[in-house]
């Protein structure tokens, strides 16, 4: 049951869920969660290909970079969301037509 096709199918489902969240939701926090799902699906692909194709640790390094980038993206994104909420008192993406300091 645990072969490469299963991991790729799970990754595809995660990617589609992330894209649907980004397209369908107006909430900025939900959009950030959708981006996290897409990044995690990419990390799952890297680890699965590394495990089943080359048998070395090269594919495991990429998810570490993805985790670091996702953490930085979450920190910057949440800081923007908090500041936006302080100014506009909403987190709907339609109200973010302009950004200024």
Contact criterion met (CB below 8 Å) for 62 and 9: no
Write out the two tokens for 73.
Answer: 């993206």
- Looking at residue 26, its pLDDT comes to 83
- Looking at residue 11, its pLDDT comes to 94
Contacts of 70 (CB under 8 A, 6+ apart): 36, 39, 40
- Looking at residue 13, its pLDDT comes to 96
Return d(Cα 92, Cα 84) in angstroms, integer.
10
- Looking at residue 14, its pLDDT comes to 95
Contacts of 88 (CB under 8 A, 6+ apart): 95, 96
Residues of the chain with pLDDT under 50: none
């Amino acid at each position: 049951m645990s072969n490469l096709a299963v991991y790729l199918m799970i990754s595809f489902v995660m990617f589609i869920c992330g894209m649907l969240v980004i397209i369908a939701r107006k909430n900025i926090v939900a959009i950030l969660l959708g981006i996290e799902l897409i990044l995690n699906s990419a990390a799952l692909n890297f680890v699965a290909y590394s495990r089943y194709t080359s048998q070395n640790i090269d594919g495991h390094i990429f998810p570490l970079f993805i985790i670091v980038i996702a953490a930085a993206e979450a920190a910057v994104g949440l800081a923007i969301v908090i500041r936006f909420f302080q100014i506009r008192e909403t987190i709907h993406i339609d109200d973010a037509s302009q950004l200024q300091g």
